[in-house]
Amino acid sequence: MKLKFEYFFRTYIFICVAVLGWSFWASAQSSAPITILDPKANSTFRHGTNITIAARVDVPTETVRYVEFLRDNKSLGIVSNVPYTLTWTNVPRGIHRLEVRMVNVEGVTNTSAAVEIPVHTVDAYLTFGLDRVKILTYKGFLGLPLWQYVASLIYIFLAFYVSKFLDFVTRIWLKRWASKTSTKLDDLLLELLNGPVKIVAFVIFLHIGLNVFSWPEWIESFFSKFLRVIVAVSITYTLLKAVDIVLNFWKNQGDQRDKSFDHQLFPIISKSLKLFILVVAVLVTWQNVSEKPITAILASLSIGGLAIGLAAQDTISNFFGAVVVFVDKPFRVGDRIKLPDVDGTVETIGLRSTRVRNLDGHLITVPNKTMGNATITNITKRPNIKTVMNIGITYDTPTEKVKLALQILNEIYKNHPKTFDLIVSFNQFADSSLNILVVHWWNSTDFKEYLAGMQELNLALKERFDNEGISFAFPSRTIYLKQDLDWRIASASGDAVKLEDRKG
């Protein structure tokens, strides 16, 4: 029991000695031989003003080599003679930490306790008189007076409604200007500017507010960059929508001027312009946020860009293939084209590939690199549809009937309004028929219309041949068989076979 008490007593004495030693050390630190007389802690100043900093030295002046004045650990200047004062000119906004450091002739350094002073940029009329309300002069969050928070909220409220008013006035002025023009393009662009003008104006007022009110540097830096991003996004969105509006207007004007206007131009121009706008917007925003010159940003991206370029060779090839397709114009959207492996209708022409709906209804994606190098047959671009037929009639048809068949064919095809450049000729004695060659052109590129017309012509031809007793031929063969010096002649026609015996 006695040992435990002695152990406790010794521990207690040790703790007391440690506490006393720490208090003496802290007292010695707090009573540095140099202090700041002016300005007092938490004194408020205006942005751009001059502040006189005065220091007091509690040692003989002959032992002092110099006194250095510090602001946020950065030297403001050195004073070697009494009085130890320094004028700090054009004070920036923010909360500043002032210190003075004394160095004696022996090289020993003593530093005063720090004094923090907030420097405000608030003009008298922007306090809204709130700085005169005693309860609002108390310090709040971040060491700023409460009236500044209330004044900031009032400023934001006023900025919002002033921005709406400016947007309203701008729209009225622009509508009056647009009403004096005959084009509708300015009316469309006017509707587009409705939202962005209000947003940009509001952001500008907020940015002014950052410079008017005094906030900690990290808050000002964050919100300044955030507001820049908001403006960049708003302007970029406006430009992207403007691209669609202008191109759609251009396309409609093109339809009015020329029905054959090439619509494949617009997807490529739209995507290219939007890509360019996005790249420029990202680079400019990055430059403003990172506060680095754009050349340094491009230099930092050069190595990565080289790697991406090597990896994207096919993509680049496809892009230039799209450019070739656009410039050379071998086909358009809606054209039926034939490639070595694809036959179908073009549905879309993109920057990377062209999509073709084949005759079976399947969607085929063809890289533009292939389009740029392939042999393309544009079936839609043919001015007319050529038809070549061989009509066979039976060998037992008399000559007069053959002449009649030629006459019927000439009448039917020449009297049709869609056929021209007709050629009708009895041109061949085939294996099973007397062939009449019919060649004509169909005056249309619509394949469905062509099929309907051919059906009409064929039905008329069948009806006339039936009425005149002209028979269409079908494949037939005559076979000679030799057996025991007897000839057997088999005449085969369709499924019927007739045998005749002949004796030699």
Lowest mean pLDDT across 174-178, 311-315, 364-368, 484-488: 484-488
Name the pairing type of β-strands 353-358 and 343-349.
antiparallel
What's the pLDDT at 324?
Answer: 74
Q: Which residue has the higher pLDDT, 349 or 21?
A: 349
- Give the pLDDT score at 494: 44
Q: Which residue has the tokens 């802290």?
A: 26
Q: In sequence order, what are the beta bridge partners of 482?
A: 487
Which tops the pLDDT comparison, 180 or 363? 363
Look at the block and give the residue holding tokens 């293939």. 321
Average pLDDT, the chain: 74
- Closest alpha carbon to 112 in 50, 57, 43, 40: 57
Please check whether residue 372 is in contact with residue 320, taking contact to mean a CB–CB distance below 8 angstroms: yes
pTM score > 0.75 for this model? no
Structure tokens at 118: 């907030």
Query: Do 251 and 266 meet the contact criterion of CB atoms below 8 Å apart?
Result: yes
Q: Is the dihedral of CA 367, 372, 376, 380 positive or negative?
A: positive
- Find the Cα–Cα–Cα–Cα dihedral 322, 327, 332, 337, rounded to 10°: -70
pLDDT band at 459, cuts 50/70/90?
Answer: very high
Q: What is the DSSP string of 150-182?
A: HHHHHHHHHHHHHHHHHHHHHHHHHHHHHHTSS
Cα separation, 198 vs 177, in Å, equals 19
* Bridge partners of residue 392, in order along the sequence: 435
- pLDDT per residue as tens digits for the range 320-350: 777 777 777 788 888 888 888 888 888 888 7
Q: Worst-scoring range by mean pLDDT, 168-177, 372-381, 419-428, 458-467? A: 168-177
Please check the confidence at residue 273 and state whether its pLDDT lies above 80: yes
pLDDT band per the 50, 70, 90 thresholds, residue 196: confident
pLDDT digits (tens, 9 = 90+) for 148-173: 777 778 888 888 888 888 878 877 77
Residue type, 53: I
Alpha helix (H) ranges present in 66-145? none
Work out the pLDDT band at 28, boundaries 50, 70, 90.
very low
Look at 336 and 114; give whichever has higher pLDDT. 336
Say whether pLDDT at 495 is over 50: no
How many whole angstroms separate alpha carbon 58 and alpha carbon 32? 8
When mean pLDDT is compared across 69-83, 292-306, 307-321, 394-408, the lowest value belongs to 292-306
Helix or strand or coil: residue 279?
helix
Can you tell me which residue has the tokens 């050195």? 78
Question: Measured between alpha carbons, how far is 426 from 435 in angstroms, rounded to an integer?
Answer: 6
User: How far from 3 is each of 6, 8, 272, 404, CA to CA, in Å?
Assistant: 5, 9, 90, 145
> What share of the chain has pLDDT > 90, as a percent?
1
> Which of 39-53, 162-176, 424-438 has the lowest average pLDDT?
39-53
Paired strand residues for 497: 492
Whether the predicted pLDDT of 471 surpasses 80:
yes
Query: Can you give the three-state secondary structure of 212-224, one letter per residue?
Result: HCCCCHHHHHHHH
Residue type, 456: E
Interatomic CA distance for residues 277 and 281, integer angstroms: 6
Place of tokens 């500044």: 148
Residue 500 pLDDT exceeds 60: no
The upper half-sphere exposure of residue 438, i.e. CA atoms within 13 Å in the direction of its Cβ, equals 23
